[in-house]
Amino acid sequence: MKTYHVITFGCQMNERDSETIAGMLEEQGYSYTEDPKSADAVVLNTCSVRENADKRFFGVLGQLKNPHENREGMMVCVCGCMMQQQHIIDTLKAKYPWVDLVFGTHNISEFPVLFKNASREKAHIIDVLSEAGPIAEGLPAARAYGFKAFVSIMQGCNNFCSYCIVPYTRGRERSRRPEAVIEEVKELAKNGCKEIMVLGQNVNSYGRARSVAGTYCAATDEPHLDFAGLLKELNKIEGIERIRFMTSHPKDISDGLIELFKDPGHVCRQIHLPVQSGSSRVLKEMNRVYTREQYLDIVRRLRQACPDIAISTDIIVGFPGETEEDFEQTLSLVEEVRYDSAFTFIYSVRQGTPAAAREDQVPEEIKHARFGRLIEAIHRIQEEKAEKYRDAVLPVLIEGPSKTDPDMLTGHTESGRVVDLPGDPSLIGRMVKVRITKPQTFSLYGALCEEQEDR
């Protein structure tokens, strides 16, 4: 039996796409292998959001050259967001001509045909579409887990933040029809899935874009469901115990979604709400379409609706033109909001975006110094907030061995906190009650409670 290996860079949307690619390969008779260098087919699914992801991709791709040359019939394929950029295609043609197949984000559904053509004809195929078509439904998926799953509800982005390449690589917003999403989640629940992560570049704008063939528009199509309405429908599906979602753009958050957190049902009391900067001036330059004050008002309303809601965020340090005063405003916003966690980034120039052409780029040493100060503040707050979990008894979905200690199990609380604990591997996939014994900045340590429900 031939084997395959898929290497994924970037976000959860890419992880979900990789599950589809893996499912397609398994339908063609391939089985998964842990070792990419011994696989008969290797697919690299790329991300273009950060420069670091670009470098990692080319580094990994270079390591596959010798195995590819020395193993007859080995196929190396690359896809994803990086492939939607012409300068990346030009680099592949010039420096990596041995790659068998290149395709983009808009034609994943055509992967089986492209793969067969490249392998049978021993041809090097580049097939990247410049525009997205209808969302393909019913594609196979080799899910990474049985007890939790990614569910993509839309593709693309209409926001065009001045630093971001995603609208150019993923295309304009297109929403899946609600019945297709609901049917997918029902099927997952039937197969034992307990937790879903609802995905979109901006889930808050679900159904707002105009309808094109095969997609959904809440303004014209039946049923008239916005994002909050879709969550309410998913809440009704028996067997699903947790519903998470990301990413949530502040400018599109609805009163209905905030109201939902008053009685969230299976929706986790958690929201990822990227702020990017605490300076209204910088936010305007970023084209984020909200101010510092508007963002803080959203946070206030969320906490008014759900006092124990966990809030995480994204923050960019060193956006072009960022002054010390701008950065101080970011620090003060962090102190005011007191995030449960934050993904922090040093601004990375993305070719083709408006911010990349600006002449007022912040020097690297200043960016790194500010980044260090931001990390220090966030970690201090995380450590302080972790203390509230000491001696608490929390439901934890056990997901597998701990990354830091294979003799321990790991899982997540409803708020998204990582919990490590001793336990038998038979607990993987179960929701168990855990008493927190040692809270730390990035994770919690705990012990199984003696009394457990059968979940």
Q: What is the pLDDT of residues 98-137, one digit of tens each?
A: 999 999 999 999 999 999 999 988 889 999 998 888 899 9
**∠ CA 385-200-50 to the nearest 5 degrees?**
75
Residue identified by tokens 């309410």 is 232
CA 22/CA 143 separation, integer angstroms: 9
Overall average pLDDT of the 150-171 stretch: 95
CA 355/CA 238 separation, integer angstroms: 46
Token readout for 114 is: 């492209």
Q: Band of the pLDDT at 455, cuts 50, 70, 90? A: low
Contact indicator for 20, 140 with CB cutoff of 8 Å: yes
Q: Band of the pLDDT at 73, cuts 50, 70, 90? A: very high
Q: What is the pLDDT of residues 367-416, one digit of tens each?
A: 999 999 999 999 999 999 999 999 999 999 999 999 888 899 999 999 99
Token readout for 296 is: 């803080």
Q: What is the mean pLDDT of the chain?
A: 95
Cβ-count burial 7-20 (b if 16+ within 10 Å, e if not): bbbbbebbbbbbbb
Q: What is the pLDDT of residues 236-291, one digit of tens each?
A: 999 999 999 999 999 999 999 999 999 999 999 999 999 999 999 999 999 999 99
Contact indicator for 396, 420 with CB cutoff of 8 Å: no
Q: What distances in angstroms separate CA 12 from CA 16, 47, 371, one per listed residue?
A: 6, 11, 24
Residue identified by tokens 């609802």 is 198
Q: What distances in angstroms separate CA 331 from CA 315, 376, 394, one per listed residue?
A: 10, 10, 31
Contact indicator for 219, 268 with CB cutoff of 8 Å: no
Which residues, in sequence order, are bridge partners of residue 152? 199
Question: Which is nearest to 347 in space by CA: 315, 308, 312, 313?
Answer: 315
Question: Which is nearest to 201 in space by CA: 312, 332, 49, 347?
Answer: 49
How many C-beta neighbours within 10 Å does residue 208 have? 19
CA 52/CA 59 separation, integer angstroms: 11
CA 198/CA 219 separation, integer angstroms: 21
3-class SS of residue 412: strand
Q: Band of the pLDDT at 454, cuts 50, 70, 90? A: low
pLDDT at 212 over 80: no
CA 329/CA 307 separation, integer angstroms: 25
The domains located in the chain, with CATH, are: 3-127 (3.40.50.12160), 390-448 (2.40.50.140)
What does the DSSP 8-state code read for residue 189? H
Question: What is the pLDDT, as a whole number, of residue 194?
Answer: 97
**Cβ partners under 8 Å of residue 411, min gap 6:** 396, 397, 398, 399, 418, 419, 421, 432, 434
Question: What is the pLDDT, as a whole number, of residue 133?
Answer: 83
CA 146/CA 22 separation, integer angstroms: 15
Q: What is the pLDDT of residues 284-326, one digit of tens each?
A: 999 999 999 999 999 999 999 999 999 999 999 999 999 999 9
